[in-house]
């Protein structure tokens, strides 16, 4: 017979209690009795801890994809334990590199090789080291140096994929350019990806009927929202060539949200793609526009397209039907 006082509590109350526990407390709670152990080992409990404790994950974890699956299909507790082990090993290496110059760069490289799996730890060192700590400057300097190395490795990997003509989204290429100068500040590729998701969701929430609109109206609504939030364009064209306008992360995360036409159109296309609109950039003539293409089954205005002839081949030089594509300049206007 289970003598623990928790054994008399209903499952609903135990589940409510565990929602307020830290990972360490969850582990201790699991030792109380068989019922608490069963509840504490539920995949959704450790899914929540993974989300709460870690913002950044290496791509091989496919973390974003795992979130779309039922919790039971992912070993969340093992995944959390793996990250904790990585944190512990990286923290030990970091303490060792502070103590002596011998093998310091080798230790920094070993930490950097964990990639985004140690970014939360390093940001915690940068932001969480007390000002009165004896080695505060050394901790922040070396943590920022390792973060810079991680960002540059990620940027080089994206550039190599582009050189090998592998699939790379334009926002990833422009974001990789930012990574060469980004240290610990917000604005790396995962931050940019999350921001585009947030913007797309805001557009949907503003117009509950958005998904029922025609492609033409969707395209206009997206541009209208982005311009209303000053996320595209440049109200002060005297600063057109300012260096900051080349960085898509600055356009998204820093006031004022100014950018060049390429960055503005990239922002537009990335958000449009998340909302089911097929948009891509086009540099013609001497200015970057967004080209919006209607689906094969409907026109831009949402009317069914009669299938009276085979699809036009890719090498066809004839101009497309005006019901198939439209051009937009979100850098200058919302129409």
- Classify residue 228 as left (phi > 0), alpha (psi -120 to 50) or beta: alpha
- Residues 96-147 have pLDDT tens digits of 999 999 999 999 999 999 999 999 999 999 999 999 999 999 999 999 999 9
Where is pLDDT greater, at 243 or 334? Answer: 243
Cα–Cα separations (whole angstroms), residue 236 to 176, 208, 258, 274: 26, 34, 8, 29
pLDDT at 138: 96
pLDDT(307) > 70 = no
Report CA torsion sign: 9, 12, 13, 15: positive
Topology of domain 5-74, CATH: Monooxygenase (1.20.1280)
Residues of each domain in the chain carrying CATH 1.20.1280: 5-74
pLDDT at 1: 46
pLDDT(308) > 70 = no
Over residues 7-20, the mean pLDDT reads: 83
Contact 117, 57 (CB under 8 A): yes
Measured between alpha carbons, how far is 150 from 154 in angstroms, rounded to an integer? 6
Measured between alpha carbons, how far is 104 from 298 in angstroms, rounded to an integer? 61
pLDDT(214) > 70 = yes
Question: Please, which pLDDT band fits residue 311 given cuts at 50, 70 and 90?
Answer: low
Task: Enter the pTM of the model.
Answer: 0.82
pLDDT at 286: 76
Mean of all residue pLDDT scores within the chain: 89
pLDDT at 237: 76
Report CA torsion sign: 245, 250, 256, 259: positive
Question: Please, which pLDDT band fits residue 154 given cuts at 50, 70 and 90?
Answer: very high
pLDDT(318) > 70 = no
Task: Say whether 309 sits in a helix, a strand or coil.
Answer: coil
């Amino acid at each position: 017979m289970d003598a623990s006082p928790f054994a008399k509590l209903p499952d609903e109350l135990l589940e409510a209690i565990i929602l307020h526990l830290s990972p360490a407390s969850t582990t201790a709670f699991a030792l109380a009795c068989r019922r608490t152990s069963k509840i504490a080992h539920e995949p959704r409990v450790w899914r929540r801890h993974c989300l709460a404790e870690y913002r950044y994950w290496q791509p091989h974890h496919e973390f974003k994809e795992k979130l779309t699956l039922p919790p039971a299909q992912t070993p969340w507790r093992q995944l959390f334990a793996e990250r904790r082990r990585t944190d512990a090993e990286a923290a030990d290496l970091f303490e060792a590199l502070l103590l002596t110059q011998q093998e310091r760069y080798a230790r920094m490289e070993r930490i950097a090789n964990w990639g985004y799996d140690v970014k939360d730890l390093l940001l915690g060192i940068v932001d969480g080291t007390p000002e009165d700590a004896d080695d505060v400057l050394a901790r922040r300097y070396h943590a920022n140096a390792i973060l810079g190395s991680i960002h540059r490795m990620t940027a080089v990997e994206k550039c190599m994929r582009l050189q090998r003509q592998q699939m790379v989204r334009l926002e990833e290429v422009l974001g990789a350019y930012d990574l060469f100068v980004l240290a610990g500040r917000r604005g790396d590729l995962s931050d940019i990806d999350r921001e585009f998701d947030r913007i797309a969701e805001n557009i949907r929430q503003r117009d509950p009927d958005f998904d029922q609109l025609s492609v033409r109206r969707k395209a206009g609504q997206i541009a209208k929202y982005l311009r209303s939030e000053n996320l595209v364009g440049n109200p002060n064209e005297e600063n057109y060539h300012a260096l900051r306008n080349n960085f898509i992360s600055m356009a998204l995360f820093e006031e004022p949200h100014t950018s060049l036409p390429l960055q503005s159109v990239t922002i537009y296309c990335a958000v449009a793609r998340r909302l089911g609109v097929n948009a891509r950039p086009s540099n013609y003539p001497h200015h970057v526009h967004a080209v919006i293409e209607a689906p094969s089954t409907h026109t831009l205005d949402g009317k069914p397209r009669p299938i009276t002839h085979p699809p036009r081949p890719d090498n066809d030089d004839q101009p497309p039907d005006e019901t198939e594509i439209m051009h937009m300049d979100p850098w200058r206007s919302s129409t």
